[in-house]
Structure 1
Amino acid sequence: EGMGPALVEQLVDRELIKDPADIYFLSKDDLISLERMGEKSAHNILGALDRSKERGLAPLLFALGIRHVGIRAAEILAERFGSLTALAQADEEELTSIPEIGPKIAESVAAFFQQEQTGQVLAKLKAAGVKMEQETIMKNDALVFAGKFFVLTGTLPHLTRKEAEDLIKKHGGKTLSSVSKKTDYVLAGSDPGQKYDKAKQLGISIISEEELQQML
């Protein structure tokens, strides 16, 4: 809010910011010194910056400007890892295994966190009080399936397919239409189809409706 490209350009030109974390250390005097910046506008920008500290992990990942990481990829990574610390420790292979995160994104994310400058920026963000965790995961112990991907096959004894999908999503999981190495669990009922065979071939955990309920 208020931090448009022209303002950012001025801040960079005057060496008031050198990396994304520096915006949280701007003072009112820093902002008032800029062209076309009044005291009220400076106050509003500082307020907006303060509020942005509480926006959570996905918006922060997007704002870091990691190459190929748009808002959707940022949301997926935030849901999967839950914190910036956990994401920073992930290697390229682990990142590539996540549905919707392709090799280009995985390579870019891994390279970003390997840079020495990135560690310095993250330390400054932490010092500024920026929230670097996924709030919903941190605050809701019921999300036992957070970051897990399920495929359903066959007829379940008690739950309809929609009821099973809703139950998985309620507890933080996601459902996929096909089995791949990125799948965590296959929920199988009676008369399962080719998805069951593929899960066995790939060594993916196959669970029953009863086992699903026991995991909650």
Structure 2
Amino acid sequence: MEAGATGAYGVALAGGGFDPVSFLKRPQTVVRILGWVAAMVVFACITGEGYVNSLHDPQARCVFNKSDSACHYAVGVGIIAFLACMAFLLADAYMPFMSNAQDRKKIVAADLIFSGVWTFLWFVCFCLLANLWSKTTDTNGIPADAVHATVAFSFFSIAAFLQLRQETAIINQNVQRDQLLLKKAQECKDAKQCLGVMVIENEVEAFMSSDKEMMACQPT
């Protein structure tokens, strides 16, 4: 078996190690990296070129119809998604080596909830930015490429986090299955131990009974 392989319950096999190539080839890892890149592009474009000032207004305003709240929303969603993708990426790398099934279950559940919530937030972000950009009339001095990249990668983030949620749901099913198998294996082990104790007790009782019968048969 290859190094870095994991057991049925997520515990690393003896002598196994972390295989970065196999880890990077996992569908969940690929999708998470794509979501990480998309989030970075969104908040980087807005923080870098998302605010411009006009000849009539010296104060820099958001390029999306001068709605500063829209820019703040997109930056907030993007930064949190960027940081969360990094955190969950590290958790993905470490999780196969975790022996506690409950800890793995909590991480997968948190990932499942986060990816679902952020899919919705990215959808709101895309609709908001696309709608405001369509209403923007004064485009003088606005970097159109940055605006288009922001809107496009907001849409890509929807697809990335939606796919990420599906991949996480599959992992969640596997974790629950492994936890059930572990529970059944433990119950079977306990049952065998109890059965072994009962067999020993029965043998002792049978031996003591036969010993008493032999003593009773001996002449006084």
Q: Same fold (TM over 0.5)?
A: no
Measured against the shorter chain, the TM-score band is under 0.3
Q: Higher relative CO (CA 8 A, sep ≥ 6), structure 1 or 2? A: 2
TM-score (norm: length of structure 1): 0.24
TM-score (norm: length of structure 2): 0.24
